């Protein structure tokens, strides 16, 4: 899922400086699951903003909305009847959702309420960890199912580098060396021969370097 973290409230208040009448829009998708942008967070954020603004002597009117998903046009359309009544929309969906809203409602300023994080997994309740960078060119079959692009701080294809000590990355004591994990897994799978192979240069053109990526499935259109 797509993860995120709430933006510091000070930053949001600064964004909202020009406005007195806004929508706080949540999303029932990934951000609900990672508990940063669902209905509950809409309520918490809206309350927080009202309190902060009133304490500062200037009230703000907030409409609390949660869309099924902000990344599908049909759901976004549900906001159209009233979006014009508000000066801005503060979205706590992921960056994709926020942008999609902005694209659909061209005359209303769209503001981000969260910092979109990464494609991750729930390690346990309240802890998420990145697993994929969406590079568009998967090599997991060669690396024991552990992604060198995501898990190695240097995205090396022939790690580990000299900074790996007892399975820990030099970058942070909390970070496991991705390549140690790969090697351990390859050993367990009996696939160490994959390690001894020189891998071709990575084609980053399938990653972010190629501008916004598109997927078009003719069979589904």
Partner 1 sequence: MLPCTGRIDESLLLKAFENGADGVMVIGCLEGDCHYVSGNIRARARVERVYAILERIKIGPNRIRMYNLSAGEGSKFAAFANEFVDQIREIGPSPINLVRAGNQGVTEKEAT
Partner 2 sequence: MKSGSNLEKVLAAGHFSVTAECGPPRGADPDIVRKKAAFVKGNVDACNVTDNQTSVVRMSSLAGCLLIKEEGIEPLIQMVVRDRNRIALQSDLLGASAMGVRNLLCLSGDHQKFGDDPQAKNVFDIDSMQLIHMVKTMRDEGIFPSGDKIQGAPQFYIGCAVNPFADPFEIRVPRLKLKMEAGADFVQTQCIYNMEKFKKYLELAKQEGLPDKIKILAGVTPLKSAGMAKFMRRMVAGMDIPDEVVNRIAAEPKEKQAAKGIEMCIEQIQELKEMEGVAGVHVMAIEWEEKLEEIIGGAGLLPRPVMA
Partner 3 sequence: MTGNLNTFAGSTKNPTGAVMVIGGGISGMQSALDLANAGIKVYLVESSPAIGGKMAQLDKTFPTNDCSMCIVSPKLVEVGRHKNIELFTHSEVKSLSGDAGSFKATIVRHARYVDVAACTGCGLCELVCPVTKISYFPEVPAEKEKKSRAKAKEKRLIKGPGLPHPTSSHKWTFSVDEQACSMCGSCHRACLHGAISWEKKQKAVIDQDKCTGCGACFAACPEKFLAIKVDGAPDLDKSIGAAVHARSEILGREFGRSKSGDSEQKDCIRCGLCAITCEKVMHIGALKMVEQGIEAGVDICQVCGACVSVCPVSFLTIDQVTSRTPRPLLNFFNEGLNGRKPINIHYPQAVPRVPVIDAASCVQLNTGACGTCATICGVGAIHYDHRETETEIDIGSVIFSPGIEVFDARMRGEFGYGLYKNVVTSIEFERLLSASGPTSGTVARPGDGQHPKKIAWIQCVGSRDHSCDRDYCSSVCCMYATKEAFIAREHDSSIKPTIFYIDMRSFGKNFDEYVKRAKEHQVRFVRAMVSRVFEDPLTGDLELRYVDESGKRQTEAFDMVVLSVGIQVAKQTKELAATLDIELDRYGFAVTDCYQPLATSRPGIFVSGAVKGPKDIPETVCEASAAAEAASASLAEARGSLISKEVLPPERTPGPDDELRIGVFICHCGTNIASVVDVAAVTEYARTLPGVVYAEHPLYTCSQDSQERMREIIEEHRLNRVVTSACSPTTHEPLFQSTLQQAGLNKYFFDMANIRDQCSWVHANDPILATEKAKRLTRMAVANATAGEPLDELEFTVDSRLLVVGGGVAGMTAAIEAARQGFGVYLIEQEPVLGGQLLHLQRSADGRKFADFLLSLNEKIAADDRIKVFTSSQVVEQSGFVGSFETEIVMPSGATRTLKHGAILVATGAEEYRPEIHGLGTLDSVMTQTDFETALENGTAADWHHARVAMLQCAGSRDDEHLPYCSRICCNHAIKNGLRFKKMFPEARVDVLYRDMRCYGLGELDYREARQAGVNFIRFDPEENPPAISTGETGIDITVTDPSIRLQVRLQPDLLVLSTGMKPRDTEELASMLRVPRNDGGFFIEAHAKLRPVDLPSEGLFMAGTAHGPKSSSETIAQAQAAVARAATLLSKDSKKLSGIVSRVDPTNCAVCLTCVRACPYGVPFINDQHSAEINPALCQGCGICVAECPAKTIFMGRYDDRNIRAKIEAYCASEASHSPR
Number of residues located near partner 3, criterion CB under 8 A: 15
SS3 78: coil
Among partner 1, partner 2, partner 3, none, residue 158 binds (CB under 5-8 Å by kind): partner 2
User: CB-hemisphere CA count at 13 Å for 22?
Assistant: 28
User: Alpha-carbon distance 61 to 57, whole Å?
Assistant: 13
Among 97, 144, 160, 178, binds partner 2 (CB under 8 A): 160
By CB under 8 A, the residues from 91 to 130 that bind partner 1 are: none
By CB under 8 A, the residues from 96 to 155 that bind partner 2 are: 153-155
Residue 199: strand pairing partners = none
Does 163 help bind partner 2 (rule: CB under 8 A)?
A: yes
Nearer to partner 3, 33 or 119 (CB): 33
SS3 23: strand
Q: Tokens 């998967």 belong to which residue?
A: 138
- As a residue count, the chain comes to 221
Among 165, 189, 208, 213, binds partner 2 (CB under 8 A): 165
Among 5, 51, 80, 189, binds partner 1 (CB under 8 A): 51
The helices-and-strands tally (H runs, E runs) of the chain is 8, 7
Among partner 1, partner 2, partner 3, none, residue 122 binds (CB under 5-8 Å by kind): partner 3
Contact 105, 91 (CB under 8 A): no
Contact 129, 174 (CB under 8 A): no
Does 48 help bind partner 3 (rule: CB under 8 A)?
A: no
Does 125 help bind partner 3 (rule: CB under 8 A)?
A: yes
Alpha-carbon distance values, 25 to 36, 37, 79, 100 (Å): 12, 8, 9, 13
Binding site for partner 3 (CB under 8 A): 28-29, 32-33, 35, 38-41, 43, 50, 66, 122, 124-125
Binding site for partner 2 (CB under 8 A): 153-167, 170-171, 177, 180, 183, 192, 195-196, 198-199, 201-202, 204
């Amino acid at each position: 899922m797509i993860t995120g973290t709430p933006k510091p409230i000070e930053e949001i208040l600064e964004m909202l400086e020009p406005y007195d009448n806004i929508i706080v829009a949540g999303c029932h998708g990934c951000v609900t699951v990672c508990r940063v942008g669902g209905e509950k967070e809409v309520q918490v954020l809206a309350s927080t903003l009202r309190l902060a603004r009133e304490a500062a002597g200037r009230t703000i009117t907030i409409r609390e909305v949660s869309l099924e998903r902000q990344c599908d046009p049909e759901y976004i359309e549900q906001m159209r009847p009233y979006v014009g009544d508000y000066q801005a929309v503060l979205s706590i969906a992921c960056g994709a959702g926020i942008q999609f809203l902005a694209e659909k409602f061209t005359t209303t300023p769209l503001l981000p309420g969260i910092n979109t994080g990464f494609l991750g997994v729930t390690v346990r309740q309240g802890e998420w960890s990145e697993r994929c960078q969406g590079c568009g060119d998967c090599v997991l079959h060669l690396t024991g199912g552990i992604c060198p692009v995501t898990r190695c701080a240097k995205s090396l294809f022939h790690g580990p580098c000299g900074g790996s000590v007892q399975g820990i990355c030099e970058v942070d004591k909390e970070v496991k060396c991705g390549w140690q994990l790969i090697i351990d897994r390859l050993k367990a799978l009996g696939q160490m021969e994959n390690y001894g192979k020189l891998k071709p240069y990575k084609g980053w053109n399938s990653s972010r370097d190629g501008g916004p990526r598109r997927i078009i499935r003719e069979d589904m259109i």
